[in-house]
Amino acid sequence: MLGTRLIKWPLVQHIYFDHNATTPLDPEVFQTVVACLDQSYGNASSIHFFGQLAKQRLEAARRQLAALIHAAPPQIVFTGGGTESDNLAVLGVARAASGHRHVITTAIEHPAVLSACAQLEREGVAVTRLRVGAAGVVDPDHVRAAISSATVLISVMHANNELGTVQPIAEIARIAREAGVPLHVDGVQALGKIPVDIAALGVDLYSMSAHKLYAPKGVGALYVRKGVHLKPLTFGGHHERDRRPGTENVPGIAGFGAAAEIAAERLQFEATRIAALRDRLEASILARIPGTGVNGAASPRTPNTTNIYFDGVDGEALVIALDLRGFAVSTGSACSSGAVTPSHVLTAIGLSAQRARASIRFSLGTSNTTEQIDALVTAIEASVAHLRRISVHA
């Protein structure tokens, strides 16, 4: 008998609008993972039949992921997730450098990067966190101005997880290359949503996560350009070209590879379709609900993400109200859920703490439809009106 009981939720149809936190498994990915669990259970380092079968699945997934970002398969290092990929890049490169060290990043990075940089500071590394304007985009000239002779790494995310704003990575990469400084890009929220061409971007390291791409949790990858030196975070065997030891999660990695291949086939169509849904959501909310606005709307954004403020409403209360009506949304990064302080991303773009707490992130995915968008807007309108009414009488 199981030691825990499953939660019995009310019989309300729940619709998912939190794809930036995680995504459901694509049916084809699910079948790939199950088949791999059943048939490819060998250790990919073993030389016998079962081991080599697992090795084949592992390398096939490496090719699939490499194809999605236009990279060479040997440049893909599989990890345990996006956070580990970010940590391996930031800590690995900085610790591999000698002498006085300096790292440049931005104030709106994911905690996986900002916390790694904070650790480097404890190790004596200087860190510059570049500010961004109201548009949520870093100025490449600010990157150039921050570079010094001690700079060993620049880390700038491709797409912001809360706003969806897309950074000018190719331009920043040119600046980094001219200065001879490696550029790491957190691509977790960009992969599968916008085209990613590693060669065109000119980056040196690129972090990815499977569970943002309709594949299993607990799997990630790091693109490492040939010639980039980084120290591993953990120690053991010679897996992943001595970058990441430990027996590989072959079923999860195979699922990641399948998801990458699906994303390559559907990216253009889905990006156009989902962008239209997002625009419909924004236009409807702004037209029907006063005291609202889109954060970061002036910048290029991923097609699936919008961050909207509802003045006079507590964001957490609105998330709960919408959940009770059958809609899953969030106030921002899932990794910061439950934080007392307002979003560091929203305050970094100039929002007051009050407006930051009144902001909601809607992140769309492949299952969302026009009918769901219209139903969501109706639920938001009713919820906001109710919350504002009880706030006035509180």
Instruction: Answer whether residue 10 shows pLDDT above 60.
Output: no
Instruction: Answer whether residue 3 shows pLDDT above 60.
Output: no
Task: Provide, rounded to the nearest whole percent, the portion of the chain with pLDDT above 90.
Answer: 91
Instruction: Answer whether residue 12 shows pLDDT above 70.
Output: no
Mean pLDDT of 90-112: 97
Q: Per residue in 223-257, pLDDT tens?
A: 999 999 999 999 999 999 889 999 999 999 999 99
Residue 376 token pair: 């969501």
Cβ atoms of 222 and 60 closer than 8 Å: no
Residue 79: predicted pLDDT: 98
Residue 35: predicted pLDDT: 95
CB atoms within 10 A of CB 234: 10
Q: Dihedrals φ, ψ of 363, to 5°?
A: -125, 120
Q: Per residue in 287-336, pLDDT tens?
A: 999 999 999 999 999 999 999 999 999 999 999 999 999 999 999 755 54
Residue 8: predicted pLDDT: 57
Residue 24 token pair: 């459901």
- Type of residue numbered 110: H
Binned at pLDDT 50, 70 and 90, residue 6 comes out as low
Going 222 to 208 to 76 to 78, the CA torsion angle's sign is: positive
DSSP string, 241-305: HHTS-S---HHHHHHHHHHHHHHHHHHHHHHHHHHHHHHHHHHHHHHHSSSEEETTTTS-B-TTE
Instruction: Answer whether residue 204 shows pLDDT above 60.
Output: yes
Residue 202 token pair: 């000119």
Q: Per residue in 336-380, pLDDT tens?
A: 445 568 999 999 999 999 999 999 999 999 999 999 999 999 999
Q: Dihedrals φ, ψ of 126, to 5°?
A: -80, 140
Alpha helices in 43-161 (DSSP H): 49-69, 82-96, 111-122, 140-146
- Is residue 22 classed exposed, middle or buried when 0-12, 13-18 and 19+ CB atoms within 10 A define those classes? middle
pTM of the model: 0.94
Q: What is the DSSP letter of 343?
A: P
Cα–Cα distance, 254 to 267 (Å, whole number): 19
Q: Per residue in 326-335, pLDDT tens?
A: 999 999 755 5
Cα–Cα distance, 309 to 383 (Å, whole number): 14
Residue whose token pair is 């002498």: 99
Bridge partners for 60 per DSSP: none
Instruction: Answer whether residue 1 shows pLDDT above 80.
Output: no
Question: What average pLDDT does the structure give for the chain?
Answer: 94
Cα–Cα distance, 232 to 214 (Å, whole number): 28
Mean pLDDT of 213-224: 98
Binned at pLDDT 50, 70 and 90, residue 13 comes out as confident
Q: Per residue in 166-197, pLDDT tens?
A: 999 999 999 999 999 999 999 999 999 999 99
Q: What is the DSSP letter of 211?
A: G
> How far is residue 147 CA from its own chain's centroid?
26
User: Mind listing the domains of the chain with CATH numbers?
Assistant: 15-24+267-392 (3.90.1150.10), 27-262 (3.40.640.10)
Three-state SS across 129-169? EECCCCCCCCCHHHHHHHCCCCEEEEECCCECCCCCEECCH
Bridge partners for 330 per DSSP: 361
Mean pLDDT of 67-93: 98
Instruction: Answer whether residue 154 shows pLDDT above 90.
Output: yes
DSSP string, 23-44: -PPPHHHHHHHHHHHHH--S-T
Phi/psi-derived region of residue 278, left when phi > 0, alpha when psi is between -120 and 50, beta in every other case: alpha
Question: Rounded to 5 degrees, what angle do the CA atoms 49, 51, 56 make?
Answer: 90
Cα–Cα distance, 361 to 345 (Å, whole number): 12
Residues 6+ apart with CB under 8 A from 312: 291, 358, 387, 388, 391
Q: What distances in angstroms separate CA 33 from CA 23, 163, 211, 254, one per listed residue?
A: 15, 32, 13, 7
Residue 37: predicted pLDDT: 94
Going 71 to 74 to 80 to 85, the CA torsion angle's sign is: negative
DSSP H or E segment with residue 7? none
Active-site amino acid positions: 335
Q: For residue 235, how many C-alpha atoms fall within 13 Å in the half-sphere facing its CB?
A: 1
